[in-house]
Structure 1
Amino acid sequence: MSVRDKVALVTGAGRGIGEAIADALAAAGASVAVCDVDAEAAGKVAARLAERYGVRAAGVGADISDSAAVRAAVERVTAELGPVEVLVNNAAVDVIGRFVDSTEDTWDRIISVNLRGTITMTRAVLDSMIERGGGRIIHIASDAGRVGSSGEVVYSATKGGVIAFGKALAREVARHGITVNSVCPGPTDTALLGQVAEYSQKMYDATVRAIPLRRVAQPGEIAGVVAFLASDGAAYMTGQTLSVSGGLTMV
């Protein structure tokens, strides 16, 4: 189930789940483009991967809500590493709070990064995948997009949109040998989950108690599932939505 020598681009890979995914793919032998809005963080992660695993890695700064920045990032990755064969759309933003207290500016930012950014990045690599007759596209969605999450109403909407986008795209591009799947993390030990605790410790504690495995996930536990979907072992899986949530969501 190797991804050795494949070129993988991971968005939001400067920290958290994205960094763990980049690490897992590099450990499996992939050349990894670490893409993040924080160019310095992306560069540091890429340098660490190259040193630790002896793979080619590039740090790329890009705000995926900016289509011109996305195109430039993909062009740079292609020039430095080669055509993107595995795309992991991980980058996302959220603001925890009641929907009635939110503003249009907040809605626009969440939608432009989480949904439109995913669509834009996917479009930027798709022609090359079609020309080469294969590819892997993996969206990091969320169980919030499957069942909803209090305090994350617009975020839930965007993640539901990502799931639907992935299913529909999977139908269109299957004939080109391209698979599209979504991974839905449950509560994971990241800065985003820290926002929940800051907003309401009671909400955080109740969420953890509701997880059958009685703990939140570590980023590496999400990354392992992504690495599998990127591999030849998942060649016959497409249009699927996988929850990695310790049993919190069983749908």
Structure 2
Amino acid sequence: MRKTAIVTGSTSGIGLGIAEALAGAGMNVMLNGFGEACEIEAHRRRIAGRSGSEVGYNAADMSKPDAIASLVEETRERFGRIDIVVNNAGVQTVAPIEDFPRERWDLIIAVNLSAAFHLVRLTFAEMKDRGWGRVINVASAHALVASPFKSAYVAAKHGILGLTKTVALEGAEHGVTCNAICPGYVLTPLVEKQIPETAKARGISEEAVVRDVLLAAQPTRAFVEVGQLGALAAFLCSDAAAQITGTALPVDGGWTAH
């Protein structure tokens, strides 16, 4: 029987790449996220057609616990099981802390941290009962280091790493692993949106943001590729990764080696 994965925030960027990789590795996948309905359906059909896996879609707003519960319920009804959870959904705001909008702090913590807790809470028991499960939290290099003007995001990602370690310990004797992938800068829609915000916050050009802020942090001077993250996620879901748990895995071009 095919294993089933929920990948949150998977209608674009990193999440979409991970969903593609897991489907390609033979897993059924439930997509989740926002976007134009026709584009999401095109992604769903394309992934299913290429992989032969069954691919669904649920539009749950990951800031709302009741919507997360509905996502889990629909996934179980459609696929009969949930074996893998990839907590990838994320939002971002870049602003000095004295100007940081309170409502954006609440939203970022809800989507980037609390949503992962709720999704694991609702799926962990069946993984333990089955004796096999994988939780992958897409954190960030910002789970390990900080940057100015990103107080909520950095706080949430540091929290995700703590959650990762706790879940790993609770699943260790039950065949359930939990790891955090910590990408550096990937040229996703989320990062593209940050460029003008960061330029405004720092009073520099957008070109300078890419050159002197984003890629300056990564010694390779190159963006991380979505396909590289998808391949790592697929490996973590394999039996070869059964003894990898509770870890933070940087994919950051050497950023956190400083």
Structure 1 residue 39: deviation in Å? 7.9
| Partner residue in 1 for 2:227 | 220
Contact 2:11/2:31, CA 8 A, preserved across alignment: yes
1:33 matched residue in structure 2: 30
Contact 1:6 1:31 survives alignment (8 Å) = yes
The alignment's C-alpha RMSD in Å is: 1.6
Mapping for residues 12-51 of structure 1, pairs under 5 Å: 12-38=9-35, 40=37, 42-51=40-49
TM superposition score normalised by structure 2: 0.91
Cα drift, residue 43 of structure 1: 3.8
2:91 matched residue in structure 1:
93
1: CA distance between counterparts of 2:105 and 2:141?
19
Per the alignment, residue 115 of structure 2 pairs with: 117
Distance 1:230 1:139, change over 3 A: same
* d(CA) in 2 for partners of 1:210, 1:190: 17
SS of 1:79 mapped into structure 2: helix
- Residue 209 of structure 1 deviates from its aligned partner by 3.2
Alignment deviations for residues 26-65 of structure 1 (CA, whole Å, 9 cap, x no partner): 1111111112244835443222211122111111110122
Partner of 2:255: 248
Structure 1's unaligned 5+ residue stretches are: none
The separation in 2 between residues aligned to 1:37 and 1:127, in whole angstroms, is: 28
Q: How many pairs align?
A: 248
TM-score by length of 1: 0.94
Instruction: Say if 1:230 and 1:39 are closer, same or farther in 2 by CA, change over 3 A.
Output: farther
CA distance 1:196–1:222, shift in 2 (3 Å): same
The 2-side partners of 1:209 and 1:159 are apart by 21
Instruction: Provide the C-alpha distance between the structure 2 equivalents of 1:112 and 1:210, rounded to a whole number of angstroms.
Output: 27
Please tell me whether the aligned partners of residues 18 and 230 of structure 2 are also in contact (alpha carbons under 8 angstroms).
yes
CA contact (8 A) 1:196 1:203 kept: no
1:203 counterpart residue number: 209
Residue type of the partner of 1:141? A
Q: Does 1:152 align with 2:150?
A: yes
The answer to whether the 8 Å contact 2:3/2:81 transfers is no
Task: Name the stretch that deviates more: 74-83 or 38-47.
Answer: 38-47
Same amino acid, percent of matched pairs: 35
Taking the aligned partners of 2:191 and 2:35, their CA distance within structure 1 comes to 20
Aligned equivalents of 1:239, 1:129: Cα separation in 2: 16
| Conserved? CA contact 2:87–2:138, under 8 Å | yes
Are residues 1:52 and 2:58 paired?
no
- Structure 2: which 5+ residue stretches go unaligned? 200-205
Matched residue, 1:128 = 126
Matched residues in 1 for 2:153 and 2:58: separation? 25
Does 2:69 correspond to 1:71? Answer: yes
TM superposition shift of 1:147: 0.5
Matched to 1:205, the amino acid is R
**2:20 counterpart letter in structure 1:** D
Secondary structure at 1:167 match in 2 = helix
Q: Which amino acid aligns with 1:219?
A: V
Matched letter for residue 99 of structure 2: D
CA deviation vs aligned residue, 1:102-129 (integer Å, no higher than 9, x gap): 1211100001111111111111111211
**Aligned CA distance change for structure 1 residues 89 and 22 (closer, same or farther; 3 Å):** same
CA contact (8 A) 1:89 1:118 kept: yes
- Please show how residues 147-186 of structure 1 align to structure 2 within 5 Å: 147-186=145-184
Distance 1:88 1:62 in 2: 14
Q: CA offsets per residue over residues 68-103 of structure 1, 9 Å max, x none? A: 111111111111112111110000111122222112
